[in-house]
Structure 1
Amino acid sequence: MAARKVSFLSILFFAATVFSQDTINNAVVVSEVERTLDASSQLIKLIEIITLETAGGSSTSSFLYFIEPTLQDRLAHIDARVVGKDKASSRVLDVKETSVKGHEKSKVYRISLPSSLTGTSTDKIRVHSVYTHAQTPHPTEIGQQGHQLVQIKSNIYHYSPYQTRKQNLRVLLASSKIEAFSKEPKPVSDSGKEIKYGPYENIPAFTAAPLVLHFENNAPFLSVTNLARWIEVSHWGNIAFEDTVDIAHTGAKLKGTFSRLDYQRGLTTKASVAEFKTRLPISARDIYYRDEIGNISTSHVNKGKETVDVDVRPRFPLFGGWKTHYVLGYNVPSSDFLLKSGSNFVLQVRLIDHIYQNQVIDDATIKIILPEGASNIEIRAPFKLERLPDEKHYTYLDFVGRPVIVLKINNAVEEHIQPIQIKYAFDRFNLFYEPLLVIAAFALLFAFVIIYVRFDFSIMKSKRE
């Protein structure tokens, strides 16, 4: 009987999955797409300006966006908006991951349109996607004075389930030293750090033309392999942040031995990293930066107009294959990030900080410690993240423990530096619970001392002279 029940539930789950799948609307046509692939850093940033139309008098309120198969495992972020005169006037569109019948192994997103489309659209849709670890060092090892070469494999054409009437591609590279690049299909032209492909016309759906690039890229190839972030909220006016960072150079590995003399003379690869800049909130104070040995005094703190910049300098330069570990912490006033309405509070903080330019965080675990007695906890985030089971954190005078929200995110980039909201209920009387407990403890101690000194506990009474 139990086996039949499990089998029936499996059938229901399979049926729900099948019926929830999207299908390709063959009436949709991409009338024009302008593509820009930016490989000037360790990331690949792809921007596609898409103009759509529908044929046969049909209409649609959304369209499917397929991620290029060679890059879909490297996707870190995607967003879409209607192109405006500037970013402020652009309208953000809803982007949801979906499954398409017959393309179950593909990574597909359904992007909503600002209004139902019939005929040719007057709106241009800007789709922005970011990919990590998509530039492979080639060769994989270089000497201390060598130059770092990388290789990229992608698609020249816009990978689409719809026919594309016209398109072009512009590739931006980190340097003009290009070892090789794809020269078909024509027309293709290169000038310095830029390669242009197209325009191409009447491209069938799912058409692929291999794009292979081999060029010099000495940009910092740093990856935060593990980030453990603690955020402790106090209703006495302070929020404490502490990041434990494991960071590695993921570029071409250093071949041979390291020469300190050559490094000091400047005879070293430009791909090595001696320092990087971390940006903290403008109200950050009590900043500390240390590792297993102790405080690292080579760092500097500069206060700008909108951020506090910390020049993080490890104890040694980072070459390919090298890694380091450090702890960076600071405090901020709770009034800058904590909103309240009666007994309801909203904590609005960034999930991660700006650690360095064009950052990559492979694995991040964020633990947010709320005051003891917080309840009805709700989380709102502008992107997908995983919530692990809550934990308890005990400090001085805690009885039931402080609730700890545990969040996890993988493959994070700068686009994930956005505030999340944590809403919870907290009775203000709990603020005075611990002070009253301390007062009561001291009152009992004083009472005990008073009683002790007033009573005579001796066995024999002394004789009066």
Structure 2
Amino acid sequence: MSRVRLLFLSLVFLVAGSVQADVVNKNVDTAVDISTQLVKIAHKVTVENVGKTPVKSLIFGVPAHIKERLSFISAKVGEHQLRLSETKVDNQEGGFWKLELRSDITAGRTLPLSIDLVLGRGLIPHPSQITQKEKQLVLFEGNAYYFSPYLTEKQTLTVNLGTSSVESFARVQPVSQSDTKITYGPYEKVAPFKEERLNIHYENNSPFLTITKLERVIEVSHWGNIAVEETIDMEHQGATLKGPFSRYEYQRETQSGIASVKSFRTALPASAVDVYYRDDIGNISTSHMRVLSDSVELELRPRFPLFGGWKTHYTLGYNVPSYEYLFNQGDQFVLKMRLMDHVVDDMYVEELTTKIILPEGCHSIELTAPYSVKRLKDTLHQTYLDTKGRPVVSVSKSNLVENHIDDFELRYTFAKVLMFQEPLLVIFAFFALFLLVIIYVRLDFSITDEEENSRVEREQKDK
């Protein structure tokens, strides 16, 4: 097919002024991983400029049903991250982003792109309820074609199920199944904005652990320690348990409760010490810690296995040395830590609140987040030996996955002389206490001899 005809087909489907009509997706390789509770989509796209003028930006899109479940999106050219800004395309439903290129695509040139997506709720348990002995089946609803405002000359889609147990899948020809993978395509001359629902019904017994609420508290001390505490509400959001739970069958039969979660692993910083794991009842002893070269691996076992619809609540805390995360030049300090850390593999977090408690006396506080967050109102935290209270910086964000684990920067000013405030308060408190003791012991509260004689005389007169 000639270049002229390709451009004509593109113009038929594009809205004038919305996107560049002289851009063509020369080749698209899409890999979809649905072996866990998250849907991970990786696009390898080769874009070609078939026009005469340089192209400075591109438009990327997803269908509306995918946009609703999207948690993370990123685009790269090689190792360079591209800036994305959400935009709109006239008369088209779905989600669209503008990709700002580092350098223009000149006429006749191609550019390889890597675009990654993560869907937090991309899998639906089907059926929604199962008994203790049944396996968990889920339904994935995707799009067979590359949803783009540009014409796609050639496309291939590969879906990794993680299992060979498949109930049914969409037969968008050409299609082939091999062990744990289903391959669609290659498709040629895919029109812009083309949609074809891709339904796959298969077995997935991986943990569907959702962190419904995560509160992360970071307390900074200029005396060499940073205390981190996470309060976590977790729910198994797979197929809910139908019928009663039998502990006897669960322990006796290996296939009983195959979709349940007995334990899970979390990763802490390599320098983490004084680790504790407890709930409302108290310390949970069913946990194991292993120190690795680059992290501390903690295996957490709740008091009961988690079936679909079951919840757990616990607190995890530890200490790390401040010199690894806190830097300063004079009275200017910079704190670099993770806004959210690893809780469980392939985790999905519905709501995150991170609080950073700074030493008393900090001011001129500036927060730089790795992505857009909601800055909450600053508050004060009162603790021992405080006079005014310690400033607390709080942020919140929803709909997060592991890809959101990244560092924030918190800059503030703190006069080092204030570090002696608490020791001086302790010294003055002890000095005042000792002074009171000295005054007390020097006071004579005993009854004098004159008072005793007067009492004796009164007693004799009474007789």
1:98 to 87, 100, 108: 87
Matched-pair contact (CA < 8 Å) for 1:53–1:118: no
User: How far, CA to CA, are the matches of 1:422 and 1:154 in structure 2?
Assistant: 40
Matched-pair contact (CA < 8 Å) for 2:31–2:157: yes
Mark the structure with the bigger radius of gyration: 2
1:137 to 117, 125, 130: 125
Answer yes or no: is 1:64 the counterpart of 2:52: no
In the TM superposition, what are the counterparts of 1:245-260 in structure 2 within 5 Å? Answer: 245-260=232-247
User: Partner residue of 1:39?
Assistant: 34
1:314 to 302, 308, 311: 302
User: How far, CA to CA, are the matches of 2:63 and 2:225 in structure 1?
Assistant: 46
1:111 offset after TM fit, Å?
Answer: 1.3
Matched-pair contact (CA < 8 Å) for 2:23–2:51: no
Answer yes or no: is 1:163 the counterpart of 2:182: no
Change in Cα spacing, 1:398 to 1:187, as seen in structure 2 (3 Å) is same
User: Partner residue of 1:183?
Assistant: 171
User: How far, CA to CA, are the matches of 1:75 and 1:69 in structure 2?
Assistant: 10
1:97 offset after TM fit, Å?
Answer: 2.2
Answer yes or no: is 1:199 the counterpart of 2:199: no
User: How far, CA to CA, are the matches of 1:348 and 1:424 in structure 2?
Assistant: 12
User: How far, CA to CA, are the matches of 1:375 and 1:397 in structure 2?
Assistant: 19
1:352 offset after TM fit, Å?
Answer: 1.7
* Runs of at least 5 residues in structure 2 that lack an aligned partner in the other structure: 1-16, 454-463
Matched-pair contact (CA < 8 Å) for 1:51–1:121: no
Q: Which amino acid aligns with 1:189?
A: S
User: How far, CA to CA, are the matches of 1:91 and 1:368 in structure 2?
Assistant: 31
Answer yes or no: is 1:280 the counterpart of 2:275: no
1:303 to 288, 291, 308: 291
User: Partner residue of 2:25?
Assistant: 30
Q: Which amino acid aligns with 1:385?
A: V
Answer yes or no: is 1:48 the counterpart of 2:52: no
Q: Which amino acid aligns with 1:163?
A: L
User: How far, CA to CA, are the matches of 2:273 and 2:258 in structure 1?
Assistant: 33
Q: Which amino acid aligns with 2:119?
A: Y
Matched-pair contact (CA < 8 Å) for 1:174–1:218: no
User: Partner residue of 1:227?
Assistant: 214
User: Partner residue of 2:7?
Assistant: none
TM-score normalised to the size of structure 2? Answer: 0.90
Indicate the SS of the match to 1:389: coil
Change in Cα spacing, 1:455 to 1:318, as seen in structure 2 (3 Å) is closer
1:229 offset after TM fit, Å?
Answer: 1.2
Q: Which amino acid aligns with 1:52?
A: V
User: How far, CA to CA, are the matches of 2:47 and 2:228 in structure 1?
Assistant: 46
Indicate the SS of the match to 1:124: strand
2:70 to 69, 75, 99: 75
Change in Cα spacing, 1:121 to 1:272, as seen in structure 2 (3 Å) is farther
Indicate the SS of the match to 1:354: coil
Q: Which amino acid aligns with 2:288?
A: H
**Cα RMSD after superposing both structures:** 2.0
User: Partner residue of 2:365?
Assistant: 377
1:464 offset after TM fit, Å?
Answer: 13
Residue range with higher mean Cα deviation, 365-374 or 449-458: 449-458
User: How far, CA to CA, are the matches of 2:150 and 2:411 in structure 1?
Assistant: 43
User: Partner residue of 1:432?
Assistant: 420
User: Partner residue of 2:323?
Assistant: 335
User: Partner residue of 2:197?
Assistant: 210
Indicate the SS of the match to 2:64: coil
User: How far, CA to CA, are the matches of 1:71 and 1:439 in structure 2?
Assistant: 63
User: How far, CA to CA, are the matches of 1:284 and 1:387 in structure 2?
Assistant: 28
Residue range with higher mean Cα deviation, 213-222 or 446-455: 446-455
* Runs of at least 5 residues in structure 1 that lack an aligned partner in the other structure: 1-21, 84-89
Question: Number of aligned pairs?
Answer: 436
1:30 offset after TM fit, Å?
Answer: 1.4
Matched-pair contact (CA < 8 Å) for 1:95–1:111: yes
Answer yes or no: is 1:242 the counterpart of 2:229: yes
User: How far, CA to CA, are the matches of 1:313 and 1:120 in structure 2?
Assistant: 58
Indicate the SS of the match to 1:444: helix
Indicate the SS of the match to 1:439: helix
TM-score normalised to the size of structure 1? Answer: 0.90
User: How far, CA to CA, are the matches of 2:108 and 2:186 in structure 1?
Assistant: 20
Change in Cα spacing, 1:52 to 1:120, as seen in structure 2 (3 Å) is farther
In the TM superposition, what are the counterparts of 1:340-359 in structure 2 within 5 Å? Answer: 340-359=328-347
